[in-house]
Structures are given as C-alpha cells and as structure tokens.
Amino acid sequence: MIKVGIIGATGYAGGELVRLLLGHKEAKIVWYGSRSYVDQKYASVYQNMFQLVDDKCLDDNMEEMAKQVDVIFTATPQGLCASLVNEEILNKVKIIDLSADFRIKDVAVYEKWYGIEHKAPQYIEEAVYGLCEINREAVKKARLIANPGCYPTCSFLSIYPMVKEGLIDSNTIIIDAKSGTSGAGRGAKVDNLFCEVNENIKAYGVAGHRHTPEIEEQLGYAAGENVLINFTPHLVPMQRGILVTAYASLRKDVTYEEVKAVYDKYYEQERFVRVLDKDVCPQTKWVEGSNFVDVNFKIDPRTRRIIMMGAMDNLVKGAAGQAVQNMNLMFGLDEAEGLMMAPMFP
C-alpha cells in the first residue's frame, strides 16, 4: 500500500486528490496537509467527506512528512514546493508537484512570467514534465514530477499530433481557451464572486497569461524548433471544465482521413485521450469529473487552416487525476488505477 501525503489538501486540486485516492486500491492518505486548517477535521472543511475521512489536518512540514509517506503531492501556489524540497527529502520520497515550479526548464523564463525567485533551480533539469501520454517512460523513473498545468494539458493534447507530424505551421497557432471558476483556486477573490461571474464571460491574461511559455516549450519539443503562439484564456460561469479551440495554418492540403490517421497514430492506445467521431465537437459536459480528454478537429479548406479542439475537467486530468496517473506510473501500477470513473452527467 502506497502511503500518501498531500500538502494543500484543502484547496480544490487537493480536495480532488482526496476524492480520487479514496477510491484507489493501492494508496492510503496518511497526511492531510493544510496550513489554514491545522488540527481541524478534514471533513469539517469538505463536508462531502463526512464519515469517509476521520483525520485532522496537519501542517505542511515536508521533512516530517517524508519520514512517514512514500509520495508527496504538493497542491500549492507557485513557489512553495521549490522552497521546501531538498536532497534529503528526495532521497526518501517521490514528489509530484501540481504547481508550476518545475515545469519550465529555463529558470529566467519562470521568474519572468511568475514574478518570483526560484528557490530550487538545481532540480529543474531533473524534474520530469508529467504528461504521461508523452513522457511515460521518463515518469516511471522519476523522483520529482512537474504535473502539467490545466490549460497546457488540454491545449497540448489537442494540437500535439499535428505539430509532431509537421502538418501545421507551428508559429501560426492561436489558442482560444475557456475555463470554469475552479481553475482560479479556492481563495477569496472579488473576480470570482457569484455576481461577478454569473451571466458573464471574459478574457483575461490577454497576451500575458503565465501558461503561455509552458505551452510554447512543450510544443517546441514536439516541433523540434522554437514555437510562438497566441494564447487567450476566458473565464466562463461554470464550476469545472476547459474547452480549447486552436487554429493553425496547414503546410499542405490534407483530407479528413489523413488527419484522423495521425490522431489515431498517437492516441489510439491511450486510455484517457478520446478522439471523437467525425464532426463531433468536444464538450465539457461529457468529460466532467473524469480523467478523459476529448479531442477532435475540423479542416477548413477555404482558409487552408485546421481547427483543433479539446475538452477536459480542469481539476481531474488538468490537476489531480493527472497527478494520480503519474503516481501510478512511478510505482509500477496500472496507469488507470483509481481513474476509470465515467464522466458525470448531468
């Protein structure tokens, strides 16, 4: 049985980790870390865990936690994991960090976009970007995982086959993305109040959202060259979900069958990426509460462009589910253990 510790267990991603791991046959949570709720019963913070979790919240002492668990999930704001991790801890325990601390390989880029000093740059090169569909073998051998961001996961998986096969001009990519309010976390913010979000949709982080360099870096690895994109996220009045609609110029004329064969080449054997039938557009309601990503495409011969689409749950495949998927690989388990729940509807 894998003993699990969670730092940030009372945030949205942390709460989702608890929900998923309670149904995991090979894992047991032994440390519910939450700086804000120390000594309070976890189920008093999340009432849905009443009579399911009897534990009290503990602090975020990573050094003490590393003595008691096999893996630590850090579902925390940027900067915390990097400020806590050290060689002694990494020699004892595996870490799956849900923040951006180790996602971007250039520390200067990280510090520019996130506006903070990186406290552990010595581990950036070692950290494995935990997108299992792309880095599966590296994940299996890792002791430090940089769990990908929600927007980057959906954007990358929607676009990846076309970039990898060189069928699109990578520097013409425009990504229009929409997310529910849980993507902003559980902290109190005026912009996330019901009266601010309800009956409204807005763009934010225009030409400067901090997930931009992460998407560019990962697409650049696939393309074998530097990639520049336009990425514009939008906040929509729903709790969960991400919808990505991406546009790019084709390098040559292609048929539906040719592009479908490319998507199938990369995703036919993947458990959690579902390539939809022709002309079926991804929708957030068909992936809610699940670890699935639904993707599809539409060729526009009039403009010689392709529209690539993806939908997923930002808290599951975009955060906690992907983290559990990484844990499964790191400990030699079935990659889908604890994650094969069907999407919720309605």
* Catalytic sites, residue numbers: 150
Query: In whole angstroms, how far apart are CA 13 and each of 6, 149, 211, 317?
Result: 10, 12, 17, 11
> What is the CB-side half-sphere exposure of residue 50 using CA atoms within 13 A?
3
Residue among 173, 167, 250, 255 nearest 215 (CA): 173
Q: Which amino acid is at 153?
A: T
The H or E element that residue 81 is part of is: helix 80-84
Rg (CA), the chain: 20
Bridging pattern class, strands 94-97 and 305-312: unpaired
Residue with tokens 């809610």, as numbered in its chain: 288
Asked if residues 71 and 96 have their Cβ atoms less than 8 Å apart, the reply is yes
